[in-house]
Amino acid sequence: MTPSTFVAGLELSRRFYQEEVRPLLDKHLPNVPHAAAKLGAGSDVLGFDTPMSMDHDWGPTVLIFLPEQNWQHAESLRAVMRHHLPSVFDGFPTNPSLATSEQGDAPTNQTVRPITVRQFFWERARYTIDQPL
């Protein structure tokens, strides 16, 4: 079930972070520094989304960037989101693919994902920040 009124993906994800994700982080992981963003592929990331975009891979998503020295909190962050996020935000599911990882780990929440800057650049460009340009 999706709302009948179009909301741009960046706005939807911004509100999702502010209204749901950030309060959970503040309550359950208050001393873990992070940054949040909606980055990656997709018309919504570029601001080119339309109501037609809502029929595929649509919904609130956010990357939670953790400093590498705080990566040990990633699983706790996943667990907090898995157990405390509402199942729907503004008419969109917050766990559209509560899937088990390839390694057979516990289910992960694909709409709120912890990541490091190093991991992000490796996934997007197969580039590590240790490599010279």
Smallest Cα–Cα separation from 25: which of 96, 74, 88, 72?
A: 74
CB count in 10 Å sphere of residue 37: 15
**Which residues, at least 6 apart from 26, have a Cβ–Cβ distance to it below 8 Å?**
none
3-state SS class at 100: strand
In the numeric block, which tokens belong to residue 34?
A: 């992070």
Instruction: Tell me, yes or no, if the pTM score tops 0.85.
Output: no
pLDDT tens per residue, range 13-67: 999 999 999 999 999 999 999 999 999 888 888 888 888 887 777 789 999 999 9
